[in-house]
């Protein structure tokens, strides 16, 4: 997950590893579910959901490995993978909503824009890890809330439950970012992880309503 200005304690790293380890298990289950459902879905829906499943798994897996290996030489490699996976996960989460629910030129334009930002974000994390951390967190949130641009089509295309879960997911991420920014709070990083997991689950269940 995003950069911290300080190094977490061993206990905090263990807590962070456990919280996102649970997410990796959920991600593996979701990916398997989407694979088993693939033959019953049309191609675009199947591919976008499988993409989401892979990104869900890798986001939480890389985060778990980063925190588990935080005091080893492998830290930097997994930190790059961890932070890069956030960009991929945001874009992959939006992809089914944009292509299956929004559609049309606006859906494809936002879809393409998010993936261009994702590619640039991965390059940025690979070259400038640890720099401009506030900008990085702001960009994550801005990408996450770009759904506001298409809230009309989403409201029309999603069921009330699906729309509520989509919005709830965004709120979990946003409140979690506030907890993460509370540097003096012990275990703030692990608590942020719980909000990320809650937001991810909301979006997973929202996708299941499509």
DSSP string of 173-194? HHHHHHHHH-TTSTTHHHHHHH
20 is in an annotated binding site: no
Would you call 200 helix, strand, or coil by DSSP? helix
Residue position matching structure tokens 């009309």? 152
The set of residues, in sequence order, having a beta carbon less than 8 Å from that of 206 and lying 6+ positions away, is: 158, 161, 162, 163, 165, 166, 169
Distance CA 53, CA 47 (A): 10
193 is in an annotated binding site: yes
| Cβ-based neighbour number of residue 119 at 10 Å | 13
Q: Which of 41, 36, 86 is nearest to 66 (CA)?
A: 86
189 is in an annotated binding site: yes
Which residues are documented as binding site? 67, 189, 193
Which residues are documented as binding site for Zn(2+)? 67, 189, 193
């Amino acid at each position: 997950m995003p950069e911290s200005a300080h190094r977490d304690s061993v206990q905090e790293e263990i807590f962070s590893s456990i919280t996102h380890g649970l997410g990796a298990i959920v991600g593996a289950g979701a990916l398997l579910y989407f694979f088993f459902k693939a033959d019953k879905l049309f191609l675009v829906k199947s591919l976008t959901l499988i993409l989401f499943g892979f990104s869900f798994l890798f986001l939480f897996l890389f985060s778990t490995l980063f925190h588990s290996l935080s005091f080893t030489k492998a830290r930097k490699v997994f930190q790059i993978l961890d932070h890069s996976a956030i960009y991929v996960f945001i874009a992959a989460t939006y992809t089914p909503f944009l292509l299956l629910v929004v559609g049309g030129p606006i859906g494809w334009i936002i879809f393409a824009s998010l993936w261009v930002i994702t590619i640039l974000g991965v390059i940025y994390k690979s070259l400038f890890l640890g720099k401009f951390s506030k900008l990085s967190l702001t960009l994550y949130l801005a990408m996450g809330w770009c759904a506001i641009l298409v809230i009309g089509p989403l409201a029309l295309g999603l069921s009330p439950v699906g729309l509520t879960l989509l919005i709830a997911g965004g709120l979990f991420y946003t409140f979690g970012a506030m907890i993460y920014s509370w540097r003096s709070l012990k275990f703030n990083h692990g608590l942020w992880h719980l909000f990320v997991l809650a937001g991810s689950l909301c979006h997973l269940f929202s996708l299941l309503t499509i």
